[in-house]
Amino acid sequence: MNAARNIPIPYRIVALIQERNRLFEYPLERVAGDIWSAKFRCTLCGACCTKAINNHIFLLDHDVERVKTIDPDAYKPAPDPEFCDQNGILYVSGYALRMKNDTTGSCWFLKDGKCRIYEQRFSGCRIYPHMLRRSAGIPGNITWRQFAHKGSHGRYDPEFPYEECLTIAREVKEYENAFLTHQIAFLETIHEYFTVYNLRYDPDMHKQNLQRLVQGRPVDIKVFHAGELEEYRIAWTD
């Protein structure tokens, strides 16, 4: 079980707000400098569009609205629902792109190793593999992780212009801010919803319903989107 679930929600909200404040303070030029040092150039290999590299591709609210206009079947609740109440209802922070049940777990929009909507790809796809998340490094030291799966794909471009790095750096900070803001709003909504409706987190029910999902059996889930909890019935084999 995720240890974070044992931390009271108000404490987690405060921690995320602090993380967002640190993100604001992180110099744009430093992000751009790290991107310029990596000089990563996408080769359209499609590696990052599979579960081998990314467990899932989270969609911000505006991404969800856009994917609905492209293909309404292309998204589903994000994996690993974080909460479950005593009535067996699961809760998850948002939607993700649907992944296929092929050998690599490829993205719904990946065909013959290429993205079918590359020019319309979503926020997380556009900035990948650059990111600005804190991760554990040396024991006792937490450092920013600025590059996901370095060396796994793409190519080194020695002529990568610094101006392009600045543009990417702005997009990275904008995305990370939007992601953190979304997670904060989700926790605030869950805290209020559980309080108003006299609900509580039930770890045993949570475990049982996650097992139901693994077995392909349908469960009820509420997905946080556009400030609301949307009802959804899902089997993980969908």
Rounded to the nearest integer, the mean pLDDT of the chain is: 91
Cα–Cα distance for residue pair 80/60, rounded to 1 Å? 17
Burial of 32 (0-12, 13-18, 19+ CB in 10 A): buried
pLDDT bucket at 55, cuts 50 / 70 / 90: confident
What does the pLDDT look like over 190-232, one tens digit per residue?
999 999 999 999 999 999 999 998 888 899 999 999 999 999 9
pLDDT bucket at 3, cuts 50 / 70 / 90: low
User: Tell me, what DSSP letter sits at residue 104?
Assistant: T
Among residues 52, 65, 156, 60, which one has the least CA distance to residue 110? Answer: 52
User: Tell me, what DSSP letter sits at residue 138?
Assistant: S
Average pLDDT estimate for 41-47: 88
Among residues 97, 93, 175, 181, which one has the least CA distance to residue 130? Answer: 175
Assess whether pLDDT exceeds 70 at residue 81. Answer: yes
Domain count for the chain: 1
What does the pLDDT look like over 168-195, one tens digit per residue?
999 999 999 999 999 999 999 999 999 9
Q: Are 129 and 154 in contact, with CB atoms under 8 Å apart?
A: yes
Q: pTM for this one?
A: 0.92
13-27, 30-44, 138-152, range with the lowest pLDDT: 138-152
Which structural domain, as residue segments, surrounds residue 218? Answer: 3-234
Assess whether pLDDT exceeds 90 at residue 51. Answer: no
Q: Would you state the pLDDT for residue 2?
A: 58
Backbone angles phi, psi at 228, to 5 degrees: -125, 165
- Residue 91's DSSP bridge partners are 83, 222
Cα–Cα distance for residue pair 127/53, rounded to 1 Å? 15
**Token digits of residue 185:** 């709003």
Q: Would you state the pLDDT for residue 30?
A: 94
Cα–Cα distance for residue pair 230/64, rounded to 1 Å? 13
pLDDT bucket at 1, cuts 50 / 70 / 90: very low
Cα–Cα distance for residue pair 179/138, rounded to 1 Å? 26
> What does R_g of the chain's alpha carbons equal in angstroms?
19
Q: Would you state the pLDDT for residue 139?
A: 63
What does the pLDDT look like over 99-151, one tens digit per residue?
998 888 899 999 988 999 999 999 999 999 999 988 766 666 677 888 887 77
Assess whether pLDDT exceeds 80 at residue 74. Answer: yes
